[in-house]
Structure formats: structure tokens, C-alpha cells
Structure 1
Amino acid sequence: MRADGSAAWGTESVARTRNQGPTIVIRREEGGEAGHHGGAWKVAYADFVTAMMAFFLLMWLLNATTEQQRKGIADYFAPTNLMSQATSGNGQPFGGSTPHSPAQLSTDTSSPRIETGPRPVLQDIEVEDETETPAQPVATREAPPGPDDAPDVKPGQAAIAVPAPGDGGPGAARRDADLAAASEAALRRELEKRERDALEQLAGQLRTAVSADPALAELAQQFRVEQVAEGLRIQLLDSEGKPMFISGGNTLNERSRALVAKVASVIRRVPNAVSITGHTDATPFRNDARSNWDLSAERANATRRLLVENGVGESRLRSVAGLADREPLLPEAPEAAANRRVSILLLRQAPQPPATGVTPR
């Protein structure tokens, strides 16, 4: 600004003439600070920050989501999803919720579906003849189970998949075999219990039949019935002055024949196999031509013949043997009369459970 109030901007000044010759004033204004070279760097920096934010967001999503959630995100952005109709969440990923929303682990909405068939809207187009056509079902394919379908698992616990019965798998055959073996064992125990009860009932019938016969009352002390591991054992014993057989021979006396006949009338009602064993005391034979082995076997065979004569089937006989004095009834008195006896053993029947169709391993 000059003294006369006129403004001079630019590189030239107005020259005024006074008394002297023309005066030319040239004014050059210098700028204060250098320019900032424009705002292009701000745009580049903003792009860099945005890219970094997107990168860290991607890394967070990869770490905070499950495989099913990532598939849901991919399906959301996939072109095939443009024709789908979501059943919940308005078509948004994760069923309309974020991975950390309160209702993420428990929700009433179902998982999204991906429809591979034609759009349902095409079914609403009317045909020219205006004939109603039944709506055709649209083939849909259920998407993999999403986070809404996952069971509640407490932190630190691993979800245990329990296959349903009949499902395939490496452990299915082993599990079925174990179940079949357990069922077979339980059935076998039940059959064994029933057989024990049946043998005990048969023992009661034998005792009653012998005690009810007046002719056999005096032989009650020479008659024993008991259950053993092999089955029901019936023993006909000698007593002092009351032998079952003729001394040194294999012929039953009249009372003994009546007792064996009574026993046969009871055991012939059951199908159990029969094993007969003869026993002697430790008194040796005077005649070296025979021994207690011969005597015990002959007495067992004589008892076998009498049982068959009174109705016991020959096919039921399992064995007839003589054990001499090897298994005395009274080991502390090897020459006692009670060691001279005949044992009739009704063998247990091996229970055969029904086939289960699975061979236990």
C-alpha cells in the first residue's frame, strides 16, 4: 500500500509523474512458507491404514470363528447364495448374529439352507390355460450344521460323539460284539439258575419217594442226595451190618434193588445224562486174581443194568466206571463201610442260548 492509498499488487507498479521525470517502482512480494505439495499423501496413507485394518480384521475372523462359521461367510458371499432363502437371520452370516453375540451358543433358529433348485418364484407363474398345477417341492440341500446347532460344551471339555446303535464305524462291530457277549452271559446265568432250582426240586422228590416207602425206611441213612459242580449226585452207601451188595460180589440184595428201582422211577422223568461210578474201601482182595478195581466196576455195571430195567434210557448213560478205593467218602477211615458205595450222577445240561447273529470276539 502506497502513501496515496492506491493498491499495487503483482509484479508492476503504477508510475506516476511528478515534477521530475517518470519514476518506475517495481515491487516483488516474497511468500511466507513453502507450499505443502498438495494432499496426495493423505490419500495414500488412508489407503494403507484401511488395508491394514482389513488385514487384521481378516486375521481376527480366522482366529475367532469355527470351520462352520467360515463356510457360512463363504456361502454368504458366494454367487449361489443369491437365489437362496435363509430361514433365519435375514440371510446374514452366522444366522444374523456375530460370533460373540449372547445368543450365539443357544438359539431357536435353524441353520441356513442352500437351495440348488429353481427359484420358488418361478412356480407362481400361471400357465396359459389357467389350470392349477400342484406346487412341486423344491429340492433343497441342508448346509453343514452351523454354530446354532452345536451342543453346549463347557470350556476345557471336548465334545464326545456317541454313535447311535447300528451306526457304522471302527468301534461299531466291537461294541455290538460286547453287547452280544454280555447278553449271552446273562442268559447263561439265568439258565444255570433255573437248572439248579430244577435239580433241587428233583432232590426233594427223591427224598420224599424214599422216606414215604415203609419198605425203604430203614435204608434212609444209606441214601444221600446232594448237588455238586457236575450235577445232582445220588449215593447208595453200605453201613455196618447192612451192605448193599453181597460181600465180595456184585449182586444187589433185595432191599438195595428196591431202592435202585425207586430212584429210577424218579430220574427217568428228566432228560439229564447219567454217570455211574463204583467205589470200594481200602481192604484188599485175598484172591490175587481180582482187585478192588474189578469189584467197583462190576458193581457200577450191575447198578446200570437195574436202572435200565426200571425205565432209564440206555442212551442217557454217559459213563460207567469203577474207582476202587481212590476216592473214599471218609478219607480218615479208608476201611469204613461208607466208602463202599455206588454214585449215580445226573449231569448238568450245558445251557445253549439262542443265536444272536453276532460272533463275540
Structure 2
Amino acid sequence: MAKGRGEGATIVIKREESGEGGHHGGAWKVAYADFVTAMMAFFLLMWLLNATTEEQRRGLADYFNPTNVMGRNSTGSGQPFGGRTPNESGEAASNASSVRVETGPRPVVFDLDEDDSDQPAAPVERRGGPKGDDEEATPARLQAARAEPGNSPGAGGSGADIAKASAEALREELERREREALDRLAEGIRAAVREDPALADLAKQLQVEQVPEGLRIQLLDAERQPMFALGGSAPSDRTRALMAKVAAVINRVPNAVAITGHTDATPFRPGARSNWDLSAERANATRRLLTDGGVAETRIRSVAGLAEREPMLPGDPQNPANRRVSVLLLRENPAAPGGNPTP
């Protein structure tokens, strides 16, 4: 509607809001940053758990744990007030100055007469006596002492003498124990043959004795009772039974075994075998009998034939006792040269 001529014009100002959203604040950005940081920390934690060992993870945990100087561990569980002490676990206030009572040996009581007098003790008269080594150690005597064997520098001295004596005593003790063991073994062999009715009559053809090399077990031929076939190396049935008894007994010890065959002085016909061949074959047959009885092959040290070179009876070289086989259990602790191992 048109206004009157005398009225002023009305001016209307209309402001239109923009279509875009207004400012809502930045709190969501902080929350998003915290979320991203937490996810990154979680990712790093999972990566560390997968890429480290148990010992490394324990080190990391100890690094981030708080430290309590009053606690026993680094976990802060020391509880110094009314709880555990720094020294031991358990409910105790303190044990640093506690008194511990322990029973000990009974004190020694000296039965002395008490002197109630206040008089000073009378001086003891000095009596003459022989001088000690230090009082008599004149330069001349010291020079003479150094000149004695064993007292000069580099000659061994008392320490070397003591070590030598100890080694000698140890060797003698080992030899004594081995002699006793071999004695028991020899008696076991004799008893095994003696208690078998089928072998009792062969006891006189079995000789067991200690020699410097060890325990020697010899099977001897007798008149009309040969251990092997005459002129051959086939053992008789009683020889097999006897060697089985011997093998069962010597299996009790680990000593090495040396086997030797011997013959008498009866020669073979020219061109035939010799006593060397026969003695070696009988020694090897004895080896087979021992191994059949359970003796390990690794224990066999040697198998030899000596023909008639070491007769049992040198004055009677044709005696049947010279035909024999010898089984020697070697000592583990050889006797000293010139020593007598037989007690």
C-alpha cells in the first residue's frame, strides 16, 4: 500500500542464514586423536609380544613397573608398614635387630683354684734346656743344611717328597686291593671245580696262582688224562666243562686276558706240523671256549703259542704237565719292579 506523501519510507533489513552448518567445536578431534593413539599403542604392544622373547618381555615389564626401595621385589609389594620386611617374606614388622638364640657346645669349665689374695704372682724361674733350631741356626749350619740332598733349590723339597710318598702309598693300596680281589677270584675258581662232581678229579690238573703279571690259571695234562687230543687241538668234554667254569668266574672282573699254549719237548715227524703250530692252535681253541662261556672278545689281549720253550718242569721236558694252556688275568695296577704281589 502506498504511503502518504508526508510519511517516511520504512526500510526492512532481512538477513538470510547460510546453508552450511555452523561451528560445533573441536572436542571430537581430541577424542579421535586419543583413539588413534590407543590403536597405535595396541598395535605396538601386539608387535612387541610377537617379536620378543619371554626374557625380553620380562625385562620390559620390569622397566615399566614402579620400584619400591622398601620392597623385596620390583613390583611395589614390599608393604614396609606392618607387612613384609626388605629381608624376608611373611607378616613381620622388622627382623633387622631381632635376637636369635641357638644352642651351642657346653662351655669348658677349668677347675682352677681361685686365689683371693691380692699379692702379685711370683716370677717363674727360667730353666735351661736344649736350644731350638732357630737358636742354633748359625751361618755354618745353614750352609750345611742347604748342601744336603733334597734341600737345595730345585731338588724337589718337602712338598715333592710328600707328593711322592702319597703317590707311593696310593699305588700300594691299589695293589693290595687288587691282590685281595684276585685271591678271592682264585678261591672261587677252585671252589667251582671242587664242588662239581664231574670235575672234582680234575682239580689236581688245575693250577691257579698269582704272578707279577696277574692271576694265572693253567690247565695241565696228566698221564692218560689229556686236556686236548694227543697231537691235536680238539678239547675234551671235561676240558669244555672246566673252561666253562673258569669263564663264569673270571666274568666277575674286567681284567684283560692273555692266553698262551705250551707243549712238551716231543718233536713232530720231519715235514709235519711243529710244536709251534700245536701250541698256537690249542691257545686259540681255549680262546673260543672262553668266548663261548661269555668272556667278551674285547678283553682278549693276546693269543700265543710258545711250543716247548717254557716248560713247567724244565728237568723233565717230556712230562705231560708241560702240555698246558695258560689263561692270565692281567693286573690293572701293575706291581712295581722288584715287588712281590703275592701276599
- Normalised to the residue count of structure 2, the TM-score between the two structures is 0.54
Letter in 1 for 2:269: R
Could you say what secondary structure the match of 1:294 adopts? helix
Corresponding residue number in structure 1 for 2:289? 306
Which position in structure 1 is the counterpart of 2:209? 226
Residues 34-113 of structure 1: pairs in structure 2 closer than 5 A: none
Question: What residue in structure 2 maps to residue 56 of structure 1?
Answer: none
Aligned to 1:344: 327
The answer as to 2:282 corresponding to 1:319 is no
The partner residue of 2:256 within 273, 292, 298 is 273
Cα 1:287/1:156, change in 2 over 3 Å: closer
Preserved CA contact (<8 Å) 2:213 2:334: no
Quote how far apart the aligned CAs of 1:171 are.
5.6
Q: CA deviation at 1:179?
A: 1.7
Q: Do 1:191 and 1:351's aligned partners in 2 also have CA atoms closer than 8 Å?
A: no
Alignment partner of 1:292 out of 271, 275, 278? 275
C-alpha distance in structure 1 between counterparts of 2:199 and 2:304, whole Å: 26
What does 1:205-220 correspond to in 2, within 5 Å? 205-220=188-203
Q: What is the match of residue 153 of structure 1? A: 135
Aligned mates of 2:310, 2:250 — CA distance in 1: 25
Counterpart of 1:280, as a letter, is T
Question: 1:269, 1:155 → 2: CA distance?
Answer: 60
Question: Structure 2: which 5+ runs fail to align?
Answer: 1-125, 127-131, 146-151, 336-343
Q: Please give the alpha-carbon distance, in whole angstroms, between the structure 1 residues aligned to 2:156 and 2:303.
A: 46
Distance of 2:155 and 2:182 partners within structure 1: 41
Are 1:252 and 2:232 matched, yes or no?
no
Task: Tell me the distance in 1 between the aligned counterparts of 2:263 and 2:139.
Answer: 72
| Aligned-partner Cα distance in 1 for 2:133–2:192 | 69
Assess, with a 3 A threshold, how the Cα gap between structure 1 residues 152 and 210 changes in structure 2: closer, same or farther.
Answer: closer
- Larger gyration radius, structure 1 or structure 2: 1
Contact 1:188 1:351 in 2 (8 A): no
1:264 aligns with 2:247: yes
% identical aligned pairs: 64
TM-score, scaled relative to structure 1: 0.51
The 2-side partners of 1:342 and 1:235 are apart by 6
Structure 1 vs Structure 2 CA RMSD: 2.9
Q: Is the 8 A contact 2:178 2:333 kept in 1?
A: no
Give distance in 2, aligned partners of 1:277 and 1:151. Answer: 62
For 1:214, what is the secondary structure of its paired residue?
coil
For residues 189 and 158 of structure 2, the distance between their equivalents in structure 1, rounded to whole angstroms, comes to 47
Residue deviations 1:139-161 (CA, integer Å, cap 9, x gap): xxxxxxxxxxx997259797869
Give the Cα–Cα distance (whole angstroms) in 1 for the partners of residues 174 and 245 of structure 2.
Answer: 28
